[in-house]
Amino acid sequence: MDPVEIILQEISKLDLKPLLAYLASKGIVDFTAKGYDKIKEMIRVKNDVKKYWFVPDKQQAERLRELGKNPGYQTVKSLIPEYPYIDVIRTGLLIKQYYDSGDDEAGGKIKHEIIGRPNGRKLISIVHLTCSEYFSVVINYLIQLKTEKGYSEKQLLDKFDEIINEWGETHLAVKSTYHKRTIMNFCIERMKKKRRNIFLLGIKKAAETIEIAIEELEKEKKFKKYGYEPLMMVRKMGKVPKVEAVLQYRSEIDKFMEDQGCDE
Amino acid sequence: MQRNVEFEELTKDERILLLRAYDYDIDKEGYVLAPSGNRIPSQEEPEEFLRVEDAAMIPGSLKLIDGTPTSISRFIREELESR
């Protein structure tokens, strides 16, 4: 029997992956030999079934598929469906999974690759936000802007972009040892620089300190002076109090638009 | 509704075979060559080119994309989740 026919008979029973493994094990590296165009055609026919996506890392691809169900990712996708970096958010969640499971090498490798891309600085800010405890704070803030202030998709997209662009210097994870003055100074410094959104996050005693610091800033009329509006979200993590605070800059145009009830 | 596809890995030799079945090839440095003979630029890093080990190979008429998490996420979203 013709050797090509023997090969064809063997591979006709196989799925694409074992078929390729079989051919490789037989030392077949291309289709230049006489009659091998039939083998080539067989590969194409099997691939047309569209069963497999061949990827460099199968487990990683499975994780990415699962992360499509992540509530944070889903919320961003529904709030700002046109966000151009939505896939970087999913990548950030993957990196977080690696770090959380102690696989710093895998997480670091992806981050390194992202930093090297054009626009890498912005992309890595998205990753840092997604990997941090602030991701849910920012999402809650966007939800609040949509439900309470009627922000449109475009306004939410601009707001999220604004948050990302300033991310490196606009958030403070308040520790229980922090004095209220530390928090106040952090806020005042950023308000002076007109950072558009300032984020504070603390639990237990730190949550109380944030509330006190914001009350003090209010008393000292700092928000009015610099044109900010504090939005406080008090939550519970089990029985533990948690405070998420956002100081939002309100430019004259923002105030005017809100007074007019404009969406854009 | 999600389409049912399986993610799989191939050895380098198996990858090359699949590529050659679609008239792609690889050069001596391990970069994938399109049927035209040109290296295929990465979509994420335009100054880089796709290497045989790093590419993801999507069935049908064999589409090659960067095998990075971001690129695979985009393809999952566009091809599997949006239908």
* Spatial separation of the C-alpha atoms in residues A19 and A13, rounded to whole Å: 9
- Do A58 and B7 touch, CB atoms closer than 8 A? yes
Under an 8 A CB cutoff, do B7 and A51 touch? no
Under an 8 A CB cutoff, do A43 and B18 touch? yes
Of A30, A55, A68, the CB nearest to B9: A55
- Residue A56 neighbours by CB under 8 Å, 6+ apart: B9, B53, B54, B55, B56, B67
Averages of pLDDT over each 10 residues, chain B, 83 residues? 80 96 96 96 92 92 94 94 76
Pick the residue of B4, B8, B16 with the most A CBs within 10 A to test the interface with A by mutation.
B8
Mean pLDDT of A68-90: 96
Mean pLDDT of chain A: 91
For residue B69, the chain A residues in CB contact (below 8 A) are 60, 64, 90-91, 94, 110
Shortest CA gap A218–chain B (Å): 43
Shortest CA gap A6–chain B (Å): 19
* Domain covering A166-264: architecture: 2-Layer Sandwich (3.30)
Range A61-66, long-range pairs (CB < 8 A, 24+ positions): A61/B7, A61/B56, A61/B72, A61/B76, A62/B7, A63/A94, A63/A97, A64/A90, A64/A91, A64/A94, A64/B69, A64/B72, A64/B73, A64/B76, A65/B7, A65/B76, A65/B80
Under an 8 A CB cutoff, do B59 and A52 touch? yes
**B3 domain-assigned:** no
CB proximity A257 to B under 8 Å: no
Domain residue limits at B51: 12-81
Output the pLDDT for position A264. 41
Under an 8 A CB cutoff, do A24 and B14 touch? yes
Mean pLDDT of A1-26: 91
Q: Per-residue pLDDT for A263 more than 70?
A: no
- A&B contacts, CB < 8 Å: 128
Shortest CA gap A173–chain B (Å): 28
How do residues A199-242 score in pLDDT, each as one tens digit? 999 999 999 999 999 999 999 999 999 999 998 777 777 778 88
Q: Of A238 and A42, which is predicted with more confidence?
A: A42
**B34 domain-assigned:** yes
How do residues A110-129 score in pLDDT, each as one tens digit? 999 999 998 999 999 999 99
Output the pLDDT for position A199. 94
DSSP string, A191-228: HHTT-SEEEEEEETHHHHHHHHHHHHHHHTTHHHHHTE
How do residues B40-63 score in pLDDT, each as one tens digit? 999 998 889 999 999 999 987 889
Under an 8 A CB cutoff, do B45 and A118 touch? yes
CB proximity A91 to B under 8 Å: yes
Q: How many CB atoms within 10 Å of residue A81?
A: 10
Output the pLDDT for position A101. 96
Could you tell me the pLDDT band of residue A250, with boundaries at 50, 70 and 90?
Answer: confident
For residue A90, the chain B residues in CB contact (below 8 A) are 69-70, 73, 77
Domain count, chain B: 1
Q: Which residues of A89-108 are buried (b: 16+ CB within 10 A; e: fewer)?
A: bbbbbbbbbbeeeeeeebbe
How do residues A93-115 score in pLDDT, each as one tens digit? 999 999 999 999 999 999 999 99
- Do B68 and A56 touch, CB atoms closer than 8 A? no
Q: Please report the ipTM that was assigned to this predicted complex.
A: 0.94
Shortest CA gap B60–chain A (Å): 5
Shortest CA gap A163–chain B (Å): 21
How do residues A146-170 score in pLDDT, each as one tens digit? 998 899 999 999 999 999 999 989 9
For residue B72, the chain A residues in CB contact (below 8 A) are 55, 60-61, 64
CB proximity A50 to B under 8 Å: yes
**B2 domain-assigned:** no
Under an 8 A CB cutoff, do B18 and A21 touch? no
